[in-house]
Amino acid sequence: MRLVPDATPLLRLAARCQHLERWTVSRSTFPFGREGYHQWRRTLYTKQAERAGDLLRRAGVGEGDIAEVKTWVSKTGLLRNPGTQALEDAACLVFLENEISDFAAQHAEYSREKFVGILRKTWRKMSPVARTLAQELELPDAVRDLLREATAGAAC
């Protein structure tokens, strides 16, 4: 709601669907490494979009609205589609505000450079509005330092 205060009910529903049943597709069922990770993520986007469509259809939502939610949840049109971008921005902000510390603890073997790279990629996916909100988050000093390093020279 901080990101898109006037979000439509449809966008709010889509936001709740973007990680729908994520646990049903184990990362370990895909090859190790970058390409395997990307295959896993693309599979999740498609599966979550289809599941969201099924649930919305059962709830009586119209096909046009369902198609829009599926576009957003499947990450189609990132950086071009406002609904898709809103969901991605929200996911990035939640990661920064609530999940990065646990993520870092689970991946203690990652180098500082790897974390900076992850944050740099996260930053590139975010809209200017989300970047501004990210800079206003209360973050642990270590995370704030990594984010500062990752975004040095990047536009807000």
| Segment 7-18, tens digit of pLDDT | 999 999 999 988
Pair (52, 88) in one structural domain: no
Report the mean per-residue pLDDT for the chain. Answer: 92
Query: Which pLDDT band holds residue 129 (cuts at 50, 70, 90)?
Result: very high
Give the residue from 114, 118, 126 showing the smallest Cα distance to 155. 126
Q: Residue 52 contacts by C-beta under 8 Å, 6 or more apart in sequence?
A: 13, 14, 17, 20, 66, 69, 70, 73
Pair (70, 85) in one structural domain: no
Give the residue from 105, 96, 45, 100 showing the smallest Cα distance to 75. 45
State the DSSP code for 95.
Answer: I
What's the predicted TM-score (pTM) here?
Answer: 0.88
To the nearest whole percent, how much of the chain has pLDDT over 70?
98
Q: What is the pLDDT of residues 93-111, one digit of tens each?
A: 999 999 998 998 899 999 9
pLDDT at residue 155 in the model: 60
pLDDT over 80 (residue 77): yes
pLDDT at residue 54 in the model: 96
Give the residue from 57, 78, 56, 64 showing the smallest Cα distance to 12. 56
Domain end residue (candidates: 35, 56, 76): 76
State the DSSP code for 58.
Answer: H
What total of structural domains would you count in the chain? 2
Among 10-24, 39-53, 57-71, the range scoring the smallest mean pLDDT is 10-24
Pair (119, 47) in one structural domain: no
